[in-house]
Amino acid sequence: MSELAVAAEKLDAADELGGKRDGFVLDEVVYLDGNSLGALPAVVPGRVEDVVRRQWGELRIRSWEESGWWTAPERIGDRIAPLVGAAPGQIVVGDSTSVNVFKALVGAVRLAGDDRDEILVDATTFPTDGYIAESAARMTGRTLRPVTPAEVPGALSGRTAAVLLNHVDYRTGRLHDLPALTAAVHEAGALAVWDLCHSAGALPVGLDEHVVDLAVGCTYKYLNGGPGSPAYLYVRRELQDRFDSPLPGWNSHAEPFGMRPAYEPASGALRGRVGTPDILSLLALEAALEVWDGVAVEAVRAKSLALTDFFLQCVAEYVPEGRVECLTPVAHAERGSQIALRCDDAGEVMKRLIERGVVGDFRAPDVLRFGFTPLYVGFADVERAARVLAETLSLA
């Protein structure tokens, strides 16, 4: 057994989150793709069966009240709130990330006022955010300017209405400085909209502490809500009475069953609702979030950094020099919970890794991505992944 394998055993033995692994449905595969789709929490299948067979099959329409279906979007939002540093009453769950980005960005522009005619968007963003930002700019008559997060402070002006940024770069795993960038946006009189898809459930976010205006995020990555599970929208409490959603649906009406022709928005986070909630996915997500009971996000962050540090150590030891290049910052303050390695023929290399039981993913043209979900990834997984990577590259 190698020294690194022995070290992995010791680290796993001392891991305070190690017992959480039993709360997931896992096999012998090293699963390092939780930054795309989280593993299945073991409680979910039984809960979904109850929702389908009893709540829907037996109670039917009564479940909107008796099973709490109607209040699920805000109730589950309050379950997510501590994971992103928010007090209750500011998050509503529903719709996709893309839809919530649209709601948040157009809402932010409307809050900023008519005298601000420019939107800044992260030039390195996940493509959908850029597509939505471009459409939102056209619909609101604003100019869209793509800039990198590092360029944001210098690009801000009295023209800036809103800035849409990613907390963690989906491709490289770079963690951007949410507190400093939010403060700079506010100093310019604009509103900050953050995409938390690659940070929520992996590291502290501090939405309330850093006075973030609006935020969105998915729930199928580090929150393990299942494929296509509903996203969420955060609207800071102080802005809620002025938040003007561009998608005013009957579910966000002050009297949803009044069926009035004129729209009157509900109060609070409910303004972020649109149409009938996706109950099956919502309640699967609610069950999945139970794995977080008793878990501090700070402990998750500490393990995440330890896992990624150890992976980089193992890669440096096992992989021949010059065969891969790390795109993820080494500095902890700039690192999310993934490691991105540039590699020749990366697509083929990832296929071979998966065949050998190490699952990450590939991003064109040449990036291997490995996501580290601290609730179920251990240090032995990390050592094995680096060792198999080295063996695979030696055969390429």
Positions marked catalytic: 126, 195, 220-221, 369
332 by Cβ neighbours in 10 Å (0-12 / 13-18 / 19+) ranks as middle
SS3 content of the chain, % helix, strand, coil (to 5): 45, 15, 40
DSSP letter for each residue of 109-127: HHHH-TT--EEEEETTS-H
Q: How many CB atoms sit inside 10 A of residue 261's CB?
A: 5
Which residue type sits at 380?
A: A
Q: Is 186 helix (H, G, I), strand (E, B) or coil?
A: helix
Yes or no: say if 29 and 359 are a contact pair by the CB < 8 Å rule. yes
Yes or no: say if 84 and 234 are a contact pair by the CB < 8 Å rule. yes
DSSP letter (8 states) at residue 82 = G
Which residue type sits at 115?
A: D
DSSP letter for each residue of 370-391: EE--TTT--HHHHHHHHHHHHH
For residue 376, give the nearest of 274, 269, 303 by alpha carbon: 303
DSSP letter (8 states) at residue 199 = T
Look up residue 188 and give its two tokens: 């310019």
- What gap in Å lies between CA 35 and CA 266, rounded to an integer? 34
Distances (CA, A) of 167 to 114, 124, 212, 233, 375: 27, 11, 12, 15, 21
